[in-house]
Amino acid sequence: MKDILADVSDWVEKGEPVAVATVIQTWGSSPRRVGAQMALTPSGKIAGSVSGGCVEGAVFESGVEVLQTGVPQLLHFGVSDETAWEVGLACGGQIDVFVKPLDKALFHARREILLADRPHAVATIIRGPGDQIGREALITGEDGAAGIFDRDIHTEIIEKARAVADFQCFNLTPRH
């Protein structure tokens, strides 16, 4: 998020809707690592990258749709996929990209943490019950967590996030 922070801050300040795409899993050769992000607006502004240019066009289209519907999307690109060749992912790898509308309240809290260079994690539900998908929580090492998870899974998420010593990206599927 740090590499797209200035652009996203500017767009949010101007009242533009923003979608954020995050690489959540890779297999084989992939141009970007897990955690790489791209932000976009329906007006065509883009910051960051999820694939070094290979699938950005398809991710942009999904981002605009996500902003129109409010429904997050989990995208998969790989060379065995016909779509991958159409969008240019010919590096031999596969990537999963999660696209969701920016939670502006969470963004403001995270922005302050990023500017202060404090360790943190953002846990995002990417699979599970439809009403849970896209919900996020911001977890910090020293002062707790904030977010919109259901009470049943809140504690599990905080424990998993804190168990990741360097606060790298991780996947979580709630058990229901």
Q: What is the mean pLDDT of residues 25-29?
A: 82
Q: Which residue has the higher pLDDT, 149 or 171?
A: 149
Give the model's confidence band at 105: pLDDT under 50 very low, under 70 low, under 90 confident, else very high: confident
Q: Delimit the domains of the chain by residue range.
A: 2-101, 104-163
Phi, psi of 174 (to 5 degrees): -65, 145
In this predicted structure, the answer to whether residue 51 has a pLDDT above a threshold of 50 is: yes
pLDDT for the residue numbered 170: 44
CA geometry: angle 72, 38, 108, nearest 5 deg: 80
Task: State the Cα–Cα distance between residues 73 and 164, nearest whole angstrom.
Answer: 25
Surface-to-core class of residue 148, CB atoms within 10 Å of its CB (0-12 exposed, 13-18 middle, 19+ buried)? middle
Per-residue pLDDT tens over the stretch 52-66: 777 899 999 999 999
Name 78's bridge partners.
94
Strands (E), 84-119: 94-101
pLDDT for the residue numbered 152: 56
Over its C-alpha atoms, the chain yields an Rg (Å, rounded) of 16
> Which of these, 84, 64, 55, lies nearest to 18 by C-alpha position?
64
Per-residue pLDDT tens over the stretch 110-156: 898 889 888 877 888 888 878 878 888 787 765 555 555 555 556 66
Q: Which residue has the higher pLDDT, 108 or 65?
A: 65
Give the model's confidence band at 98: pLDDT under 50 very low, under 70 low, under 90 confident, else very high: very high
Task: State the Cα–Cα distance between residues 122 and 131, nearest whole angstrom.
Answer: 18
pLDDT for the residue numbered 54: 76
